[in-house]
Amino acid sequence: MARIATALLILFALVTTSEAALIGRSTFTTGLLRYEGFGDVGGGVGSGRYTLGNCAFASGTTTCTLSGSYVETAESDHTPGLGGTFTLRLVYPGNGPSPVTARSRTSGSDGLQFSSIGTAVYILDLSPSAGGAIAGVFPEAVFADSIAFATFLDPGTVGCTGLSAAQPCRVGQVGLVPGAILTGAVNPFEFTIPGKSGTGGATVDVIEFYNASLDHYFITWLPAEIANLDAGRTPTRWVQTGHSFRIYTSAQTGTSPVCRFYIPPAKGDSHFFGRGTAECNATGQSHPDFVLEEANFMFVFLPTAGVCPNGTRPVYRAFSNRSDANHRYMVEPAVRSQMVARGWLPEGDGPDLVVMCAPL
């Protein structure tokens, strides 16, 4: 079998930050690297599709997974020496080849540099031995606050197909030959999560209220609003349902803002909570009469093709499907089933229709 002896370096953009950073090195890794050449010979720099991890297709989504154990390095600003387990997932829609493309950094080299990640995202989940979970979804817009790691192929496992007998089994060579493929087992790698590492933010409970005269639901985490509703200082009576879920009140690594719109009386005299900038912008454009009360009312994680990152739980949304528009947000599937039985419409992503992901 042809072998590769040089290190393969995968580069993600890394943003410098004054916040603490978690830097770790895996001590045990399972999963494969696969590189399929495009045959791009411009300047002798080969490009191709790149996949990291063992891949499986289910419910319209391909998930490639690396897993193992890790220990934080001495350079880590989190807890040097602390260990745990990790899972790194590459997720993209469809059952085709990975949309991630990379090029050799220099002519014929084994160093890869991304040129596009297409529709893919990377999700890194860490479970420290001290308890708790740390999660990051990368990259964010323009590779901001992304994950940086170096990975090395085990030279005893690397093999190539589609190359001539005269061509070395190397990433740089594979990238120059259309359809040529390199695969190999991944050795321990290093990673960095910049910023707060998803661990520094405090969470609070979002409390759900119900108004029987309106048949409307409402959620809030603001102490003043909760006190007013509990005291009945509103035109009609609101009562707590006993349901809640947790959110962040400030941005954390990998989270997305949830906006709050007021829907005027002509369309419901209600509120709508939009997940993510895209949905909030679209809501404001399609409903200019809605009043944007807060663009960053709370912060949650967004699902990837309906899948929530480790350390979070799915949040579901149901629409009343009436002229007096109202939405209900819940974490219990049985409660959503009850709403659907009443004629409400479930909304969300993926086969389970998940709208957002709440921290545990």
Is 89 within a domain? yes
The DSSP annotation for 325-350 comes to: --EEEES-HHHHHHHHHTTPEEE-BT
The verdict on 268 and 317 lying in the same domain is: yes
pLDDT value at residue 5: 40
Is 230 within a domain? yes
Mapped onto helix, strand or coil, the DSSP state of residue 205 is: strand
pLDDT value at residue 136: 64
The verdict on 57 and 176 lying in the same domain is: yes
pLDDT value at residue 135: 65
The verdict on 215 and 346 lying in the same domain is: yes
pLDDT higher than 90, residue 103:
no
Average pLDDT, the chain: 84
The verdict on 132 and 165 lying in the same domain is: yes
pLDDT value at residue 326: 96
Total domains in the chain come to: 2
The verdict on 59 and 81 lying in the same domain is: yes
Degrees, nearest 5: CA angle 118-122-251: 105
pLDDT higher than 60, residue 199:
no
Q: What is the CA radius of gyration of the chain?
A: 24
The verdict on 32 and 180 lying in the same domain is: yes
The verdict on 123 and 95 lying in the same domain is: yes
- What's the pLDDT band for 281 if we cut at 50, 70, 90? very high
Is 5 within a domain? no
pLDDT value at residue 132: 67
pLDDT higher than 80, residue 14:
no
In terms of pLDDT, which residue wins out, 60 or 265?
265
Is 61 within a domain? yes
The verdict on 94 and 124 lying in the same domain is: yes
The verdict on 167 and 277 lying in the same domain is: no
Is 87 within a domain? yes
> What whole-number percentage of the chain has pLDDT above 70?
86
The verdict on 322 and 238 lying in the same domain is: yes
pLDDT higher than 90, residue 284:
yes
Is 116 within a domain? yes
In terms of pLDDT, which residue wins out, 166 or 13?
166
Domain around 45: 10-193
Of 109-123, 139-153, 201-215, 343-357, the range with the lowest mean pLDDT is 139-153
- Whether residue 198 contacts residue 299, with contact meaning beta carbons closer than 8 Å, is answered with no
The verdict on 42 and 173 lying in the same domain is: yes
pLDDT value at residue 143: 43
- What's the pLDDT band for 16 if we cut at 50, 70, 90? very low
Average confidence (pLDDT) over 29-51: 87
Average confidence (pLDDT) over 110-126: 80
In terms of pLDDT, which residue wins out, 276 or 346?
346
The last residue of a domain, from among 142, 171, 193: 193
The last residue of a domain, from among 175, 193, 211: 193
Query: Amino acid identity, residue 289?
Result: D
pLDDT value at residue 117: 81
pLDDT higher than 50, residue 308:
yes
pLDDT value at residue 196: 42
Is 4 within a domain? no
pLDDT value at residue 239: 95
The verdict on 140 and 214 lying in the same domain is: no
The last residue of a domain, from among 164, 193, 222: 193
- Whether residue 68 contacts residue 29, with contact meaning beta carbons closer than 8 Å, is answered with yes
Tell me if the pTM is above 0.75.
no
